[in-house]
Amino acid sequence: MIDQIELLKLIEKNSQLTTAEIATQLGAAAADVEKEIADLKAQNIILGSTTMINWDETNVDTVTAMIEVRITPVREKGFDKLADILCEYENVTACYLMSGGFDLMLIYEGKNLRDIASFVYDKVATQEGVLSTATHFILRKYKDNGILFKTKDSDDRQAIVL
């Protein structure tokens, strides 16, 4: 029998592993791994797979923002109604219900600062029940989804000889 948790950890860490590679690491048959993955997809435990890309190393310019949203919960629907509406926007890559000083945290990837500002004041702030927002821009990613983004060592300082 395949250890589901170990299988999930393996494919979460590297979605590009083949079923044969997973089977070898788990000491199972490839056919059993394929069946287990199909079952996990059917149960909505495995929802998809992604590849982490270091966009800073490409010539694509994007801006990522974390948008805090304070809202008034809707009767009998709580925070879910507004979260469902905000999740429909294509550039919203994540939405979390949070504890603390705000209720929802959105991760939004836009073309530029103006794009994000427009989203906040046209789409988020105008929603019924939104009390306030605060937007934080990601300046640099050091680690995301458990993956370190290695930065090139660039020391531009000039040597001074006395």
The C-alpha R_g of the chain, in whole angstroms, comes to 21
Residue 152 pLDDT: 65
- Check: pTM over 0.85? Answer yes or no: no
**pLDDT one-digit tens code per residue, 56-114:** 788 888 899 999 999 998 888 889 999 999 999 999 999 999 999 999 999 999 999 99
Cα-based distances in Å from 81 to 69, 76, 104, 105, 162:
14, 10, 12, 15, 67
Q: How far apart are CA 70 and CA 68, in angstroms?
A: 7
Q: How far apart are CA 31 and CA 18, in angstroms?
A: 12
Residue 105: beta bridge partners? 68, 96
**pLDDT one-digit tens code per residue, 131-162:** 999 999 999 888 888 888 876 666 667 778 87
Q: Is the pLDDT of residue 118 over 80?
A: yes
Q: Is the pLDDT of residue 13 over 90?
A: no
Length of the chain: 162
95, 111 contact by CB (below 8 A): no
